[in-house]
Structure 1
Amino acid sequence: MMSPSPVSLRSLSRKVWTITVLLRVTHFLRCAARGAVRLALAMFLASASVVLADDLPDLGESARAEFSQQLERRIGVSIMNEIRLREPSYVDDADINDYLNRLGQRLAESSANPIGEYHFFAIRDSSVNAFAMFGGFIGVNTGTLLTAQSESELAGVVAHEIGHVTQNHLARQIAREKQNTIPSMIAMAVGILAARSNADIGMATISSVQAGMVQAQLSFSRDFEREADRAGYKTLEKAGYDVRSMSDFFERMQKAGHVSEVNAPVYLRTHPLTVERISDMQNRAQNSSYRQVVSSPDFYLVRAKIRAQTGTAREAVSEFEIALRDKKYASQAAARYGLAFALMRAKDILGAQREMEAIKSLKVSSPIISGLAADIRSAAGDLPAAQAIYREALLRFPQAKSLVYGYAESLYAGRQYDLALQFLESQLQLSLTDYKLYGLQAKTYSALGKRLQQLRAQAEYYYLQGQLGQAVEQLQFAQQANDGNFYEQSAVDARLRELRKLLDEETKQKKNGG
């Protein structure tokens, strides 16, 4: 996002600590709807309100001020790290998240804040939902990807969430509750974020704190939803998608809710829909010129991959075989890709290779297809062929993380360690904050027996995931390694001083309650 106005470090750290104390239990919120943990969670939050009231510093007006962009980003990064580390439903799949980021960045560039920072990720959940967090982090349930009937419909959902970010809705909703105590405000923040993913969990969180926290606070207000609709509509139109898809998707959700009001889709409960909102979107679409938009191949391929990952391997194989036999698919290439992926899961490598050959004849180009083709060659024991596929695909899709990670892994598997390190170093020059690249680098240095370099890379891997203590520990071990030259050892010493200073500041902030 754009550079924030100056904020004192102590004031900023107090806010971050205050808000993130309970946000860090977001992982447990998802478990709360699954069983007896709900009661324990309610008791924890109820007691936490009392404990935090005693431990928290008196923030005065600083807690009531609107959150700065810098503060929002820090909170968002903290929550995102927790999700990656501890949330089992987080989709750690480069193909899926790459696609969401390509789609999301195209929309973001056409939004009210085109130079803002955004990060899009998937949550493995069959319910239809999406949610925006602090700092431009936007999650999309896999159920939404499967339910959207076109890429424009999916783009409409994502554009709506970008609208929540550009309009600062989460910060505004929390900041406007000036009459609440700090612990209640924190608990409400947890409830709002949890509710954006699952309304039932959010309700359990809210019900455990002050009675004044009404259900309307679970979700953004209807006014905020209308603002996000309008901002999202403009973004969708400017990005070149079909603007009619936005109202089509929402109207379909509303009809599903009418069929079963008790078990209404999560999307309806976290994004309150009204006839007025849908009519507003439809009226806007009528005033726009008709634009036929074809969904990209990757839209269908990602959907096929999600389906191929669902259930047992044999069930997935059967699903795609039937679809191809009956010609019930929107994209033949995607259906064959799904079958090839499912066959790989079933360890039928020859069958998977046959499907990849059939895909070739369809002349569909995508990093997702190339990645699977290389994986199949690797599984067949033909590493040179796999690496050739990766190299050719990287020339066409140099930013595809799935190809970058796959190629590095193939070089490692082929014991081409020096070449792997050269490749990883070139990628780190382009993406210094990619923790996975450091993890691959550490593994490769370990294979070469270069302990200092391994520990140094491992430290960056931990640091970028918010694990500052573990990062410092790795650098301390690196200091004791005796296989580095003077310059490498000096780099370790300098980095250790930097991280120790950050760790000391973090420890003091926690000790002082701010």
Structure 2
Amino acid sequence: MKLIYLLLFLGGLLPRALASDLPDLGESSQAVFSSQQERRIGESIMADIRGSRDLMGDAEVADYLNALGARLVANSQDPARSFEFFVLHDNTLNAFALPGGFIGVHSGLILSAQSESELASVLAHEISHVTQRHLARVIAGTQKNTLTSLAALAVAILAARSNPQVVNAALATAQAAGIQSQLDYTREHEREADRIGLQVLEVSGFDPRAMAGFFERLQKYGRLYENNAPVYLRTHPLTTERIADVQNRVDALPYRQVPDSLDFQLVRAKLEAGAGSAQNAVKVFETALAEKKYSNEAAQHYGLASALLRSKEYSRAERELALARKAGAHPMFDVLAMHIKFAQKQSGAALDVCRGGLKRFPRHRALIHGCAETMLQTGAAAEALNLVSGALKSRDNDAQLYLLQAQAYAALGKFVPQHRALAEAYMLQGNLPEAIVQLQIALKSRDGDFYQLSMAEARLRQLRELEKEMRKPPQP
């Protein structure tokens, strides 16, 4: 769903918001938005994000972040709520919550986190914004403003994931509409998210002191670079009072040292290895290993191996990966080993690596993706189809799996299911028009049986109804 549909939807809510005075702050969000409507708004924004190159498609990074988020959500005030965490390619320090439980994190924030507890503290804070429905309250506060105000708010929500220049432009638009004070979370919202986030952090087994430490570093960074402060500070006002309040709360807690997980260390190393030029990345890891400036040696060897793969130094990459493997078996080691073999045009060896990895870690998405791609490259389309079709039974929200399934069907000459799979991939990427086109192509292919054609026709009717619903003018 594109921006225009979101604006139409918000516009449709406006007359109801103006119809009567809203109740107190805690209930006003429910008066304007139900949880279902809030999810719909979030889905509409996510459709735009999923179709953007800004979204990081790396399955290992995404799955780690979602596993970390799920651990925190399980100890939140609304553990049954559905959440989705995603990463954007952006070097700035930022994280944000969208309506409906969607939480975005910039890659720069993950790299800036000095511990897993620091990263968890940011997620716990954003989760608390969602469970307390703070954004819905902000939107509810526009009840007596015009449609222009709501439209400006929608633009600002969409811009919050972008660069500071776009954010500033969106906020300027909102200011012109008279709702600047509504756009940023209020101090009350921030204090509430801090308090509840700390509770979530502690119960989840992380170090609550990490929140205070991260806030202090952000504030220092903002003072040093006042004209280029982190986006996070622009959307989450950070005051000395807030930092002191968090510090006072954690001072009352018993000291607990929480080691970082290997998953966190490897994901962080992977992001660092992919940042900047390959040569610079190699130098960063070589220097850290030489000077022993690291918290986890295996992660440093893994990061160096990843950087060496980028610089096409394959033999050295394999040696560094062998050193990383001394820490024990891990699916990220198998994925990297597979990519190194494939880069050397050793497809058979790459296939052996991924098959062995799947025996140890059958549900690891990056292994499934990589193995399917390798199978397709080596002519094992039937094996690839069996692998991805099995994975889709438990991961039917994975667009990459549908794309791989489509490639496998095409290699086997099965064009109706190929275009059905492409349609589902486009739907997950937020491209409804192209999904409809793919189903139309499927029906024209006529190579499928009655059941396959009937399924394609039924899905096409469903998507056309959805398109019609999205184009309806808002009802007062």
Q: Return the TM-score normalized by structure 1.
A: 0.84
What is the aligned residue count? 465
Equivalent of 1:321, from 249, 274, 286? 286
Equivalent of 1:170, from 117, 131, 135? 135
Q: Distance in 1 between matches of 2:333 and 2:208?
A: 29
Counterpart for residue 27 of structure 2: none
Counterpart for residue 135 of structure 1: 100
CA contact (8 A) 2:156 2:174 kept: no
Superposition deviation, residue 192 in structure 1: 4.5
Deviations 1:209-249 (A, max 9, x none): 55363644342111100111111111101110001111111
Cα separation, partners in 2 of 1:125 and 1:300, compared to 1, 3 Å:
same
CA contact (8 A) 1:195 1:219 kept: no
Counterpart for residue 402 of structure 1: 366
SS in 1 for 2:228: coil
Residues 1:83 and 2:53 are matched in the alignment: no
Residues 1:21 and 2:7 are matched in the alignment: yes
CA contact (8 A) 2:222 2:230 kept: yes
SS in 1 for 2:382: helix
Counterpart for residue 29 of structure 1: none
Counterpart for residue 233 of structure 1: 198
Cα separation, partners in 2 of 1:73 and 1:212, compared to 1, 3 Å:
closer
Q: Return the TM-score normalized by structure 2.
A: 0.91
Unaligned segments of structure 2, at least 5 residues? 23-30
304-313 or 189-198, larger mean C-alpha shift: 189-198
SS in 1 for 2:105: strand
Residues 1:149 and 2:135 are matched in the alignment: no
CA contact (8 A) 1:130 1:267 kept: yes
Q: Distance in 1 between matches of 2:159 and 2:454?
A: 45
Counterpart for residue 383 of structure 2: 419
Equivalent of 2:241, from 251, 255, 276? 276
Counterpart for residue 457 of structure 1: 421
Q: Distance in 1 between matches of 2:199 and 2:132?
A: 13
Deviations 1:420-453 (A, max 9, x none): 1111111111122222211111111111121112
Matched residue type, 1:281: V
Equivalent of 2:332, from 348, 356, 368? 368
Counterpart for residue 495 of structure 1: 459
CA contact (8 A) 1:192 1:217 kept: no
Equivalent of 1:469, from 424, 433, 447? 433
- Runs of 4+ in structure 1 off by over 6 angstroms are 16-19
Superposition deviation, residue 102 in structure 1: 1.2
Counterpart for residue 28 of structure 2: none
Counterpart for residue 25 of structure 2: none
Counterpart for residue 244 of structure 1: 209
Counterpart for residue 353 of structure 1: 318
Q: Distance in 2 between matches of 1:58 and 1:242?
A: 42
Superposition deviation, residue 122 in structure 1: 1.1
311-320 or 497-506, larger mean C-alpha shift: 497-506
CA contact (8 A) 2:301 2:321 kept: yes
CA contact (8 A) 1:297 1:364 kept: no
Matched residue type, 2:226: E
Q: Distance in 2 between matches of 1:378 and 1:196?
A: 34
SS in 1 for 2:393: helix
Superposition deviation, residue 128 in structure 1: 1.3
CA contact (8 A) 1:308 1:339 kept: yes
166-175 or 410-419, larger mean C-alpha shift: 410-419
CA contact (8 A) 2:94 2:105 kept: yes
Matched residue type, 2:242: R
CA contact (8 A) 1:198 1:270 kept: no
Cα separation, partners in 2 of 1:500 and 1:218, compared to 1, 3 Å:
closer
CA contact (8 A) 1:367 1:403 kept: yes
Alignment of 1:330-341 (within 5 A): 330-341=295-306
Q: Distance in 2 between matches of 1:134 and 1:57?
A: 17
Matched residue type, 1:20: L
CA contact (8 A) 2:149 2:177 kept: no
SS in 1 for 2:245: helix
Residues 1:60 and 2:15 are matched in the alignment: yes
SS in 2 for 1:110: coil
CA contact (8 A) 1:333 1:364 kept: no
